[in-house]
Structure 1
Amino acid sequence: MDKTIQGTSSGSAGKIRVLLVDDSLLVLELLTRMISTSPDIEIAGTARNGKEAIPKIELLNPDVVCTDLEMPLMDGLELTSYIMQNTPRPVLVVSSVVDQTRDSANVFALLKAGAVDVHQKPNLMNNEDFHKAARELNSKIKVVAGVYIFKRKPASDRVATAPLNIQQRKGRFRAVAIGVSTGGPQLLAEILPGLPKDFSMPVFVVQHISDGFIQGLVNWLDKNCALEVKIAENWESPKPGVIYFPEEQTHLTIERGGRIFLSKDPPLDGHRPAVDLLFSSVAEYYRDSVVGIILTGMGKDGVKGLHRIKSRGGVTIAQSEESCVVYGMPGEAVKTGAAVKVLSPSEIIRELIIFDQLNKNHHG
């Protein structure tokens, strides 16, 4: 990240203080009720648009700003850009995606501007749905608030990475598998467009993201990548130069002769799709010819699977701490020895291009 997100003052009894920005009074009331169910979060204030929010940010100094996208006078994109340039702090986009092409492009433009994550705006709901949605929103706010807690090491303190004797490889690299969570859309929009249009491997990506946004993410990336980016189809045979995402609430694995298998099996450690399932399956099928990459995100999903890839002789990469929004998943991969290399996003692109060129040289 180019901009360092600084911590802000704590609320009463160490609570996370949130400023809500939305032009709908009904939405503000609903979000306030939802957040009020958490003992760890409090509402610092509300605003009806970005122009109204700016002086409140200066006055109230909230830990997190939750903003809608479309608002009068100053929309969420302008507000996010202002915050990142003048008073950096975590921004969570809370928005509805109505038109997958138009709205999602705008939502992900906010992420590119510096917002940390996106969350689907709640609808009017029954009591059971309300409490489930409240738990999900409050959990997301806690993750976003924790972004600035992760200390960033100077480059000189980076973990040493083991050299790869790739020049001595006898076989080709056959696939790339990527696991990512919080901060992922922005990072994928940096890494994936760096791959050439004749890239010689399929790329499988599991991105943890709120329901309602995965198709928009795929559309957004597809417009900005030389490679085709698509939602995977069940029993599809992966093709080189195509980037595959599972549909929301669906596990993606590689099974039976290398075909894609999608399932609605229960979440694994709270995740569906789960990075661990993708990584474990590519380790079994591709063995030493797969590259596993674990990127920014909270928790440990993908670490066990990355160990499986490493044990089969595959290449394992973790994102460097100083380039992460949240160093949870990559940090666990480094700490447990699952990652052979620790790289920045630009270094990851360079590494993948090297592997691609080795494939082409090998084929030639």
Structure 2
Amino acid sequence: MSGAARRRPIRVLLVDDSTLALEIVRRMLEHEPAISVCGTAHDGAEALALIPRLMPDVVCTDLYMPGMGGLEFTREVMALHPVPILVLSIAVQREHADTIFEMLDAGAVDIVAKPRGGLCEPSAGLAGELASKIKVAAGVVALRRRRHRAAAVAAEPLPLAAARSGLRPRIVGIAASTGGPQAIETVLHHLPRDFPLPVLCIQHIAEGFMEGLVQWLARSASISVCIGQDGRPPLPATAYFAPDGMHLELDAHGCLRCSPELRGQQHRPSADLALASLARVHGRDAIGVVLTGMGRDGAAGLAEIAAAGGATIAQDEETSVVFGMPGAAIQNGAARLVLPLGQIAPALERLAHGESPAHPTVAKGHAR
């Protein structure tokens, strides 16, 4: 051990009605020195009673449990003992889509997919993903999520007169990762029903959950929300998401292109590929937005839109669940505006009509 004090392991509480599942998840994490399982519970009520005593840094919970299930448990935790929560679940079925994304809306940080065969067949990849997401979740301030969720929904109305931006936008690209489902829901909800541009949305999410995400968003968005189809031209007032496990971008003709090739990218879908394709096809007529998320995906693609003369926006640190992606876009000079989540939809509406956002925050002032 070095002279510097070693940081204590991340304390994790596991919640699942299956004793076997609890043991398997514990084994998945036992070789990770930065993580320590501090306790287990078989339902939400038992876990809720343990939290004040165990003081976990992160809670990993199943979705469906007898007694207090995952959704009620998440709401109670965020109201009584705010702790970052990860949802460990099988892929969302159509009838379950609302529940799991309501858990994210209630305060859960992210989803980790169980293998299709259940936790009886864990893989090294799943163990690595779970450990990685626990480390990200441990850095999230849970209290902040509830406060800014309430503030974000008060979007500003479009002023009657605004300065002309000189741009004639044709399309919007939005990129997000951790915390993204809630952030994208806020933006899409506040866009007007007749929003004149198509919106390409790149959301990092565990495989098997994209269709459920789209179903959940479609219930609250003012514009249409769907999975993109290869070769189709994007339409105004429609938000497109990548098919499960695929990239989503524009081809040379401005039509949607869906492809499974990794093409050197860490993520699929890749925000960098999507935003760069908007810059190539539409140049200064493209708008790019990078929302909350871990890592740097989207920063390079947003820089290409900025270099082409298009409008670029990054979510500010205060309203981001994780400031990695927007922070990287600000640091490399790609984001010309840095805005709180609640101001992004009004800014997009102004830009879509060729107007400058009112009282913009210039990115340079936020670079660190």
Please say whether Structure 1 and Structure 2 have the same fold, judged by a TM-score greater than 0.5.
yes
Summarize the alignment of residues 192-341 of structure 1 with structure 2, pairs less than 5 Å apart: 192-266=188-262, 268-341=264-337
| TM, length-normalised to structure 1 | 0.87
* Partner Cα distance (2:92, 2:310) in 1: 41
TM superposition shift of 1:121 = 2.2
- Verify: 1:60 aligned to 2:70, yes or no: no
Partners of 1:254 and 1:281 within 8 A in 2: yes
Structure 1 residue runs of 4 or more that deviate by more than 6 Å after TM superposition:
none
The one-letter amino acid of 1:30's match is: I
CA gap of 1:13–1:196, structure 2 versus 1, over 3 A, is: closer
* Partner Cα distance (2:92, 2:273) in 1: 31
Partners of 2:58 and 2:83 within 8 A in 1: yes
* Partner Cα distance (1:113, 1:148) in 2: 14
TM superposition shift of 1:97 = 3.3
* Partner Cα distance (2:61, 2:135) in 1: 16
The one-letter amino acid of 2:40's match is: T
Q: Secondary structure at the match of 2:123?
A: helix
Q: Secondary structure at the match of 1:322?
A: coil
TM superposition shift of 1:171 = 4.8
* Partner Cα distance (1:135, 1:97) in 2: 18
Map of 2:151 onto structure 1: none
Map of 1:89 onto structure 2: 83
Partners of 1:267 and 1:274 within 8 A in 2: no
Q: Which runs of 5+ in 2 are unaligned?
A: 1-5, 149-161, 356-368
Map of 1:107 onto structure 2: 100
Partners of 2:24 and 2:119 within 8 A in 1: no
TM superposition shift of 1:99 = 2.3
TM superposition shift of 1:346 = 1.4
Q: Secondary structure at the match of 1:258?
A: coil
Q: Which moved more, 1:21-30 or 1:194-203?
A: 21-30
More helix by share: 1
- Verify: 1:136 aligned to 2:132, yes or no: no
Partners of 1:267 and 1:273 within 8 A in 2: no
CA gap of 1:348–1:339, structure 2 versus 1, over 3 A, is: same
| TM, length-normalised to structure 2 | 0.86
Q: Secondary structure at the match of 1:342?
A: strand
Summarize the alignment of residues 338-349 of structure 1 with structure 2, pairs less than 5 Å apart: 338-349=334-345
Partners of 1:23 and 1:71 within 8 A in 2: yes
Map of 1:36 onto structure 2: 30
* Partner Cα distance (1:223, 1:125) in 2: 31
Summarize the alignment of residues 5-16 of structure 1 with structure 2, pairs less than 5 Å apart: 14-16=8-10
The one-letter amino acid of 2:140's match is: V
Identity of aligned residues (%): 43
